[in-house]
Amino acid sequence: MNPLTLACLLVPLAWSEPAAAPQPAPAAVERPEPGPWLEAAFGPESLAALRRRGIFILQGRPGAWRLRMTDWKALQALSARTQAAQELEPALAKLKAGQALADSGPLAFLPLAELPPSGLVTPPMHALLAAMAAYHDHWTALTRALAEPRATALEAPAGTDLFAASWGKEFAKSTGADAASEAVPLAKPYFDKVLAGVHRDPAAAAHFVTYVSQRWQADVLNRLETDVSAGLPSEELRGWLRRYLGDQLRIHALADIRRRVSELEKKTSLASDLAELRAAAAVLRGNPKLIAELEGLVQAAAPAPGPELTSAGLHLEKPVRLGQHEQGDAVTVSGAYWVDGLPPGQRVEVEETSLRRTPKGFRDVETRAVKRANGGPYVVSRTFVLEDSRSFLLQSIISAAAGNVIDEAIEVPVAKEFELALGRLASADNQALGCALKEAETSYARLEAQIADAAREKPQYRELLETCRARRQRAVKNAAALAKLEEALPEAASDSSPERCQYDLKRVDDAVDMARSLPAGCDRYLSGLRGQRRIISRRAADQRVFCAADAEAASRRRACDFGAAARGWARGLAILDADPAARCGRTAREALRAEADIRAAGLDERWRAAFSEQLQQAESETTPSGRLSRLNPLLARIGALPDPYCFAAERTRAETLAREAGQALVMPDAVEQRLGGDESAGGAAESVAARRRELLDEAAALRTKLEEEQAPAAVAPAEPPAKAAAPAKPKNPVKAPAESKTAPKARKTRAEKRP
């Protein structure tokens, strides 16, 4: 370009307006770092809990935290349930006080159960939530108004349940009733063992009657007494027992849940877990926009100038056995990095964090702080033992207080062969538990052959092989025991049959012991044996009760208490009528004799009433001859009865009346009227009357002596009367018929000698 042209171009520039001064750039809005902001928002303790639960991955130290990763899904799920977290502790206080958790409907805190146990809702809290839900179900079932018109809702299902009483503890010990899920199968055993059995408890009956009266306004006392006398519960009483036992099971469950919750607080970290949840939920509830603000801070965060970290990448150690990683293997992931940009001789603190990223969140977080200088390579390594067959990402985060961040991940694939082998073992276990012992033995043997090669290479397969062999041997042993049990079943069953009539528990108890040693699936034998044992026990007990009632009735019969004897035999026979199979063998023969004895006792009772009536009629007679006409047959009947000593009072009364009537027949005035009025006739009449009285006294003395000799040994004889003066020997004495002076032999049965 020539000088003229250059001058022309420069002239306008020289005369132009001066340029405006440059304006300063707007000051950048200073945004806080996510780490310190989180600590200020949640507080040190809550942030530490969230970090410990894997929701926030932090590096650094308190006051200078660096947020590296956030489990946004877990944080949002917790934020959506802050109201449920607020309701949890007040409901827990109501449970401890024995109160209702809610009036009706679902519980407000139950959405917390949807959170995973690896987060803030820990395993102890999940156990607490399940217990509180069960408590609410039992309470609701107890307090709601039932369908029956007379039923009333209980204001508070508190108080002592039957399983806290002595009879309830014994019943639960023998039947496991306190752990039953429903009351229907318990009604008949409870009646047999507690209300109507040999060891029946009046307090148990009173508890049942009182509870039914208060709960359903029903009086079941008469129904209960009738069924107890019959020895068999009616369908009506069964219904009341099912309702009563159902309520008692729920009341017992409420008390048991309160006890378990108390133990959960004492033995676990439940109290501290609740405090951590309460604090974190309060922060999220107080600031609904907290998650959005945190996301903005994370996106805007930029690393501060500092040393430069350079990674060589992550390396997954290749499997050396069987060519794949499997459950139970130890897997190592390693890497290396370099540090640059530090002044010579200076070192910086670097934090190396590794973790597993799974669909359920961050797991196995581990952080290590080390001092690094310029250079490298610095090796990082992490070894995991694979606890399942799910593949995962291993995340590695390396950073200093300033500078860039190394954030890398590598996938760790896990093969499923070992998991499949465990599944085949579980399948064989199911066969063994289901009592298919031969099939289980075959499955164990097949699995042993499949994993034999792998067992030579990997320890988990070797351990699996040893477990499989042990269980196959157990299956063989159980199969032999099952065959022996099947042979013993017919013999044990025969002990419950009335044809054999030997209700002995030894063989059935031996069979029960064998069945208990078998897997749970063989319980079909155990339940049948227990049923046979109950039958044998009941029939043996019925026979014992009948024999006791028969002995008591016979004792009352010997004591001449005919009514009590008849009632005793009736009770004993009612027990056999309720259980006809117990009426066999010797018991059947005793029952036949008891039936005859009860008829005889009833007949004796009627004879006693008839004798009393005849004595009253004899006393009402006005003439001696009329009185004797009634007394002579009565005395003859008493003498013909097999147990005349039982009618001693009636006989004495009749003899007294007969003696008086006989004396009245030979009064001197009557004889004088027949013989005339001279003195010789009067003397003869006096002599005849005196002689007749002497003969009557002799006859009375002989009868008394005979009664004493014939009286049974069990009855103490009355003191003999004073010996009367020997009467004058008549000229022509009348010889009395010879009578036996020895007691009659013991009779075989009372019915055999009855006319």
Q: At what angle do helices 562-578 and 221-230 cross, to 10 degrees?
A: 80
Q: Give 283 or 183, the one with higher predicted confidence.
A: 283
With a cut of 60, say whether residue 31 has pLDDT above it.
yes
Whole-number pLDDT of residue 312: 92
What CA–CA distance (Å, rounded) separates 438 from 424? 16
Answer for the pair 618, 630: CB distance below 8 angstroms, yes or no: yes
With a cut of 70, say whether residue 719 has pLDDT above it.
no
Mean pLDDT of 213-233: 88
Whole-number pLDDT of residue 683: 62
Lowest mean pLDDT among 112-116, 199-203, 313-317, 643-647: 643-647
Element at 371 (helix H, strand E): strand 361-372
Q: Check whether the bond before 730 is cis (ω within 30° of 0).
A: no
Whole-number pLDDT of residue 26: 45
Q: Cα–chain-centroid distance for residue 514?
A: 24
Mean pLDDT of 493-506: 79
Whole-number pLDDT of residue 686: 61
With a cut of 90, say whether residue 140 has pLDDT above it.
no
Whole-number pLDDT of residue 515: 85
pLDDT tens readout for residues 113-131: 999 888 889 999 999 999 9
With a cut of 60, say whether residue 512 has pLDDT above it.
yes
Element at 416 (helix H, strand E): none
Whole-number pLDDT of residue 413: 92
State the Cα torsion 509-514-515-521 to the nearest 10°. Answer: 170
pLDDT category of residue 662 using cuts at 50, 70 and 90: confident
3-class secondary structure, 379: strand
Mean pLDDT of 582-594: 87
Tell which residue, 353, 363, 301, 398, has the closest CA to residue 35: 301
Angle at the Cα of 401 (from 400 to 402), degrees rounded to 5?
90
State the Cα torsion 698-703-709-711 to the nearest 10°. Answer: -150
Residue with tokens 């055993």: 189
pLDDT tens readout for residues 157-190: 545 678 888 888 888 888 888 888 788 888 888 8
Whole-number pLDDT of residue 449: 94
Tell which residue, 743, 707, 747, has the closest CA to residue 558: 747
State the Cα torsion 250-256-261-267 to the nearest 10°. Answer: -160
Answer for the pair 400, 350: CB distance below 8 angstroms, yes or no: yes
What CA–CA distance (Å, rounded) separates 492 from 499? 14
pLDDT tens readout for residues 535-549: 888 888 888 888 988
Mean pLDDT of 212-217: 88
CA distances from 10 to 5, 13, 17, 19 (A): 9, 5, 14, 16
DSSP conformational letter for 645: G
Lowest mean pLDDT among 247-251, 396-400, 678-682: 678-682
Tell which residue, 396, 427, 403, 420, has the closest CA to residue 333: 396
With a cut of 70, say whether residue 627 has pLDDT above it.
yes
pLDDT tens readout for residues 383-442: 989 988 899 999 999 999 898 999 999 999 999 999 999 999 999 999 998 889 999 999
Whole-number pLDDT of residue 57: 92
pLDDT tens readout for residues 317-360: 988 777 889 999 999 999 999 999 999 989 999 999 999 998 88
CA distances from 527 to 253, 429, 482, 496, 508 (A): 25, 22, 15, 15, 12
3-class secondary structure, 331: strand
pLDDT tens readout for residues 740-752: 333 344 444 444 4
**Residue 386 phi/psi, 5° resolution?**
-75, 115
Number of Cβ within a 10 Å radius of residue 91? 21
Element at 336 (helix H, strand E): strand 330-340
pLDDT category of residue 11 using cuts at 50, 70 and 90: very low
Q: Give 572 or 699, the one with higher predicted confidence.
A: 572
What would the two tokens of residue 219 be? 């009086």
Q: How far apart are the first and last CA of the chain?
A: 169
Helices marked H in 517-561 = 523-558
Taking the model in full, what pTM does it have? 0.63
With a cut of 70, say whether residue 21 has pLDDT above it.
no
Please, is 632 exposed, middle or buried when counting C-beta atoms within 10 Å of its C-beta (0-12, 13-18, 19+)?
Answer: middle
Tell which residue, 120, 112, 66, 107, has the closest CA to residue 279: 120
3-class secondary structure, 343: coil
Answer for the pair 406, 359: CB distance below 8 angstroms, yes or no: no
Q: Give 365 or 691, the one with higher predicted confidence.
A: 365
Whole-number pLDDT of residue 9: 36
With a cut of 80, say whether residue 12 has pLDDT above it.
no
Q: Give 696 or 158, the one with higher predicted confidence.
A: 696
With a cut of 60, say whether residue 716 has pLDDT above it.
no
Q: Give 482 or 30, the one with higher predicted confidence.
A: 482
pLDDT category of residue 365 using cuts at 50, 70 and 90: very high
What CA–CA distance (Å, rounded) separates 278 from 285? 10
Percent of the chain with pLDDT over 70: 82
3-class secondary structure, 702: helix
With a cut of 80, say whether residue 55 has pLDDT above it.
yes
- In order, the DSSP letters of 623-671 are SHHHHHHHHHHHHHHHHHSS-GGGGHHHHHHHHHHHHHHHHHHT-HHHH
- Length of the chain counted residue by residue: 755
3-class secondary structure, 716: coil
**Residue 390 phi/psi, 5° resolution?**
-95, 130
Mean pLDDT of 302-314: 89
Whole-number pLDDT of residue 73: 92
Whole-number pLDDT of residue 517: 86
Mean pLDDT of 636-643: 76
Answer for the pair 339, 309: CB distance below 8 angstroms, yes or no: yes
Tell which residue, 343, 347, 402, has the closest CA to residue 378: 347
Task: Indicate the average pLDDT of the chain.
Answer: 81
Residues 6+ apart with CB under 8 A from 673: none
